[in-house]
Chain A
Amino acid sequence: MSLGPAEVAKIAHLARLAILDEDAPAYARNLSAILELVDQMNAVDTTGVAPMAHPLDMAQRLRPDEVSESNQRAHFQAIAPQTEAGLYLVPKVIE
């Protein structure tokens, strides 16, 4: 499977990445190479092999349902560009 510039542009948009048009062919080549590797892996017969969700062969540790965090709003909001009435302010997004 190989990607063209239009697919590269779409993937970049989905990831909110700004790329230069002139770089698109190079990205297309590199991404296509990755997909070719996936194709090779797909060709292997994996009948009876359970899909792996994580490289570590361990299970998720569970935490007790107890409040351990205190209010550190002032601390966090010190690095926010803009706040008001305890809210983070962002450019308006309307549905």
Chain B
Amino acid sequence: MMEWETVIGLEIHAQLATKTKIFSGASTAYGAEPNSQACAIDLGLPGVLPVLNREVARMAAMFGLAIDAEIAHRSVFARKNYFYPDLPKGYQISQYELPIVRKGQLRIDLEDGSSKTVGVTRAHLEEDAGKSLHEDFHGLSGIDLNRAGTPLLEIVSEPDLRSAKEAVAYMKKLHQLVVYLGICDGNMQEGSFRCDANVSVRPKGEPKFGTRAEIKNLNSFRFVERAIEFEIERQIDLIEAGGRVVQETRLYDPDRGETRSMRGKEEANDYRYFPDPDLLPLVLDDEFIAAARASLPELPEVKKRRFVEHYGLSAYDAAVLTTSRALGDYYEAVVAALGGEPKLCANWVMGDLSAFLNKEGQDIAESPVSAAQLAGLLRRIQDRTISGKIAKDVFEALWAGEGDADAIIAQRGLKQITDTSAIEQVIDDVIAANPAQLAQYRAGKDKLFGFFVGQVMKLSKGKANPQQVNDLLAEKLKG
């Protein structure tokens, strides 16, 4: 049995989060009426000229700086020629020989705890095409050109990835990065972040690459993993059965979990690129690039390291809390409002808050409990007004919008009982009510200690301070 090595390179299209198109002043807002945001330039009407959106250049530069790439002082737009109804001009404006972002790199973390540096060959600017709807229009196709001209940054990786898992780790890392940078909303359902995968296999140790297939239509992390795994197996089976992999474009079908050939598309793969005479070279001076650098936010890796060093969090906690910029900001706002206790804050943000958000399918930005409100709750745990257990109930009420922690605690009478004589009174009542258990306990049945604690907590409606209950009960039960 031969051992095979997989070689994967990804091309990721990130839709840039601008207000307007790359070459026109039409809006890019998602979900508008069909063709209501397709202007004369997007439609490719005669006599129009494209004018580049400054924000597009700035965002591409930010991305390049974040992956330690060289930003081209001079890049050139080219026409990629092909015919399809959702491409009104008969060509897509893209960048070919001289892209805006040159070679960079991205470090990815793998499941076994190791990390790997993946090369980014280049990233270039281009315009998106429109959408074809093949549903029933009396045998015709419907074309919506609202998406035509939306700015895309195509990020091309080196063939450095060796498994579906590595490909997903790389894609997730890039996703996190572009969202952090605020240059892409990352919404994969809406197609703001999508991926084509080039997959090939070769016998282990063979220096030459095998023939690759390009898989299109990958718009979720799960699909990327499944499609690549299917494709690896298909290619190995094919070669082992004496066949040969053909270089072709394949489409992933999520319903069947398989890739299949896009028949007949290969002959059209002659794009005849040439510099677009409608557009002058894009020249970015040092000042422009310096301004882009100045607008970079704290990047995920740096934030993670700071959370470990500054807050004393574990590497795991720091990684979770820096998954998104919004989550990290929320966490820091809680710590700031509480004035300390970073570990307690981390536990609550990663624990109860995240659990509720997940359950409701909400993002941290949509959390009904503000950072200040959560800090208000944690303050009452800190000063022992309530126990951690009662705090969970208060949190539920906070989530339900019943007001701030203090109001909920007062209104529901949840204030913890820390008055020793009051707790002793409850303990006395419990002991008096359970003479049989008391006798058994004193006869050596230690397990019954838990029973007494339970009874005391029940009688105090959970409000007795647990530590004091333990101490006082032990004392009293001794007799």
Indicate if the CB atoms of A89 and B34 lie closer than 8 Å. no
Q: Which residues of A contact B76 (CB under 8 A)?
A: 53
Q: Which residues of B contact A16 (CB under 8 A)?
A: 83, 90
Minimum distance in angstroms from B141 CB to a CB of chain A: 5
Q: Which residues of A contact B134 (CB under 8 A)?
A: 92, 94
Indicate if the CB atoms of B141 and A71 lie closer than 8 Å. no
Interface centre among B33, B53, B56, B280 (most CB of A within 10 A): B280
Q: Which residues of B contact A72 (CB under 8 A)?
A: 39-40
Minimum distance in angstroms from A9 CB to a CB of chain B: 13
Interface positions, chain B 143-167, Cβ under 8 Å from A, are: 143-145
Q: Which of A53, A63, A91 contacts B140 (CB 8 A)?
A: A91
Indicate if the CB atoms of A84 and B281 lie closer than 8 Å. no
In the complex, whether A59 has a CB less than 8 A from a CB of chain B is yes
Q: Which of A60, A64, A88, A89 contacts B279 (CB 8 A)?
A: A60
What does the 1/0 interface line of A51-76 toward B look like (CB < 8 Å)? 00110101111111111110111001
Question: If A62-B57, A63-B51, A67-B20 touch, does A90 touch B85 (CB 8 Å cutoff)?
Answer: yes
**What's the Cα separation between A56 and B277 when bound, in Å?**
10
Question: If A63-B51, A65-B18, A68-B25 touch, does A73 touch B35 (CB 8 Å cutoff)?
Answer: yes
Q: Which of B25, B251, B282 contacts A60 (CB 8 A)?
A: B282
Minimum distance in angstroms from B152 CB to a CB of chain A: 15
Minimum distance in angstroms from A94 CB to a CB of chain B: 6
Indicate if the CB atoms of A95 and B265 lie closer than 8 Å. yes
| CB nearest neighbor in A for B271 | A14
**What's the Cα separation between A90 and B283 when bound, in Å?**
39
In the complex, whether B54 has a CB less than 8 A from a CB of chain A is yes
In the complex, whether A87 has a CB less than 8 A from a CB of chain B is yes
In the complex, whether B133 has a CB less than 8 A from a CB of chain A is yes
**What's the Cα separation between A94 and B18 when bound, in Å?**
31
| CB nearest neighbor in A for B36 | A71
What does the 1/0 interface line of B237-269 toward A look like (CB < 8 Å)? 000000000000001000000000010010000
| CB nearest neighbor in A for B145 | A88
In the complex, whether A44 has a CB less than 8 A from a CB of chain B is no
**What's the Cα separation between A76 and B45 when bound, in Å?**
10
Q: Which of B26, B56, B140 contacts A89 (CB 8 A)?
A: B140
In the complex, whether A82 has a CB less than 8 A from a CB of chain B is yes
| CB nearest neighbor in A for B26 | A69
Q: Which residues of A contact B54 (CB under 8 A)?
A: 62-65
Q: Which residues of A contact B272 (CB under 8 A)?
A: 14
Minimum distance in angstroms from A54 CB to a CB of chain B: 5
**What's the Cα separation between A84 and B53 when bound, in Å?**
32
Q: Which residues of A contact B81 (CB under 8 A)?
A: 14
Indicate if the CB atoms of A87 and B35 lie closer than 8 Å. yes
Minimum distance in angstroms from A60 CB to a CB of chain B: 4
Indicate if the CB atoms of A92 and B53 lie closer than 8 Å. no
Q: Which of B27, B83, B84, B280 contacts A67 (CB 8 A)?
A: B27
Indicate if the CB atoms of A59 and B40 lie closer than 8 Å. no
In the complex, whether B55 has a CB less than 8 A from a CB of chain A is yes
In the complex, whether A20 has a CB less than 8 A from a CB of chain B is no
- Give me the interface of B with A, judged by CB distance under 8 Å: 18-20, 24-27, 33-40, 43, 45, 51-57, 76, 81, 83-85, 90, 98, 132-134, 137, 139-145, 251, 262, 265, 270, 272, 275, 277, 279-283
Supply 22 A–B pairs (Cβ within 8 Å), ascending by A: A53-B76, A53-B275, A54-B279, A58-B280, A59-B283, A60-B280, A62-B53, A65-B19, A65-B54, A65-B55, A66-B20, A69-B25, A69-B26, A87-B137, A88-B142, A88-B145, A89-B140, A89-B141, A89-B142, A89-B143, A91-B85, A93-B132
- Give me the interface of A with B, judged by CB distance under 8 Å: 14, 16, 53-54, 56, 58-69, 71-73, 76-77, 82, 84-95
